[in-house]
Structure 1
Amino acid sequence: MTIKVLLADDQALLRAGFRSLLRRSKDITVVAEAATGDEAVRQARAAEPDVILMDIRMPGMDGIEATRRILAERPATKVIILTTFDTDEHVFAALRVGASGFLTKEVAPAELRHAVVVVAAGEALLSPSVTRRVVQQFAHRPTPVSGDGLAVLTAREREVVRLVAQGLSNEHIAARLVISPLTAKTHVTRALMKLNVRDRVQLVILAYESGLVRPGH
């Protein structure tokens, strides 16, 4: 199966570089490009990409709003945010509207291709640095109040969600709870379905918003 990719960035040179890198993979094809957020929305509608590499800052509509609109129309589409700095304050906002992760524009070729494949498969680019950024966002907010939404989870599923929110992979969760990686993955999948969230990034955000996990604990 070929993964269809849309490149959305106002820098033509960067798009050309990414296009060249992705073409080296037999299972990835660039089906469209966009230089503005508005154009990204139109191209996503026309080309129906599986994955979008989306710049945050573009003329007119920015990448965050473009991501929100695209996912409202095509929720199955995966969006990877492109940013110049990994400390970009807008990264959290992009994750909040549904992006599956982010990459800096200085990403290594192999990492770029790997990211597209991973996100297309339904996973999220949830590195420890992303998790820390989510924590930092909530560290400056009033203490959240636990909601009833998490009541649908079993005790073990809640425990697994806590570990996901700490940035642990399925393998690390399995080691911590002395279960198999497959069982850990099953618990994560069930939690995603029960809470109606699209990926692990959204699961981390929900864990903090609900009060299941708190910064510093």
Structure 2
Amino acid sequence: MSEEEARPPRVLICDDHPLFRSGLKAALEGAGAAVVAEAETGAEALDAVARQRPDAVVMDLSLPDASGIDVTRRLTERHPGLPVLMLTMSDDDGSLLAALQAGARGYLVKGAGADEVLHAVRTVAAGGAVFGPDTAARLTEVFRHGLRHDAEQLFPSLTAREVEILELISRGLDNRHIARHLVLSEKTVRNHVSHVFDKLQVTSRAEAVARARDAGLGGEGPGDGEVPGDGH
């Protein structure tokens, strides 16, 4: 074993639950890792990575100021090659694909044992990729059918109508134009948009668009000469 392989991996944990961070830190350090920093928000994670230069980042999907997927995208853009391991409660196909598109090298569902998480951290830090058994099987199935095939499968928590609205959001339409396009009231569209945001754990249209386009939706721009808007 080389000196680099023998050295404990230096890890940054980004999660907004203090008790979970504390428990994960204790488990990782007890299993041979070195937790060099903790972050509660995406902004803190970006700053801490710049200061500490960890070997790997363990990232939650839902953060107070941004989605973990958006933070992962920014981290991998700023620090090419930085391994990010998603460790989250969300196990839907849309989140998995979006994480991969953002540059994550691994995806585990919370509940994995400390040894499994440490193995995943070591693997991604060494340039590999790690997925839980169920996640790997779903990933194979999704890619076999293509990213754009059956959007409801990519976002199983969304109804068919919500997927339709998400695609229109990703094309740049505001609520008024979505309402006109679907022959719905603006209030109904606002309610649908709020449900989409809640289910995808995003807080802005920009994040929703990023999730949708990562899954292959939209990308054509506003249709029928309509002007995009940014109202929630």
TM-score if structure 2 supplies the norm length?
A: 0.56
Q: Which of 33, 38, 44 matches 2:38?
A: 33
Which has the larger displacement, 38-47 or 123-132? 123-132
What residue number does 1:5 align with?
11
| SS of residue paired to 1:82 | strand
List gaps (5 residues or longer) in structure 2: 1-6, 152-213, 215-232
2 CA distance for matches of 1:9 and 1:135?
32
The 3 A distance-change label for structure 1 pair 65 and 84 is same
What residue number does 1:96 align with?
101
What residue number does 2:223 align with?
none
Q: Is the contact made by 1:56 and 1:82 (CA closer than 8 Å) also made in structure 2? A: yes
The 3 A distance-change label for structure 1 pair 72 and 106 is same
| SS of residue paired to 2:25 | helix
Q: Which of 130, 137, 162 matches 1:125?
A: 130
What residue number does 1:24 align with?
30
What residue number does 1:49 align with?
54
1 CA distance for matches of 2:44 and 2:144?
33
- Over residues 15-72 of structure 1, what are the superposed CA-to-partner deviations in whole Å (9 max), with x where a residue is unaligned? 111101111133x200001011111111111111111010111011221111111111
Percentage of matched positions with identical amino acids: 37
Q: Which of 11, 21, 26 matches 1:15?
A: 21
What residue number does 1:210 align with?
none
2 CA distance for matches of 1:141 and 1:59?
30
- Over residues 71-127 of structure 1, what are the superposed CA-to-partner deviations in whole Å (9 max), with x where a residue is unaligned? 111112100112203226322111101100211111112211111111111110143
| SS of residue paired to 1:138 | coil
1 CA distance for matches of 2:43 and 2:144?
31
**How many residues align structurally?**
142
Q: Is the contact made by 1:36 and 1:62 (CA closer than 8 Å) also made in structure 2? A: no
C-alpha deviation, 1:141, in angstroms: 6.6
1 CA distance for matches of 2:143 and 2:25?
30
Q: Which of 55, 80, 84 matches 2:85?
A: 80
2 CA distance for matches of 1:53 and 1:100?
10
Q: Is the contact made by 2:61 and 2:90 (CA closer than 8 Å) also made in structure 1? A: no
| SS of residue paired to 1:85 | coil
Query: What is the aligned-residue RMSD (CA, Å)?
Result: 2.2
1 CA distance for matches of 2:78 and 2:148?
32
C-alpha deviation, 1:133, in angstroms: 4.0
TM-score if structure 1 supplies the norm length?
A: 0.60
Letter in structure 2 aligned against 1:12 = P
Output aligned runs, 1:64-213, within 5 Å: 64-87=69-92, 89-126=94-131, 127-135=136-144, 138=147, 140=149
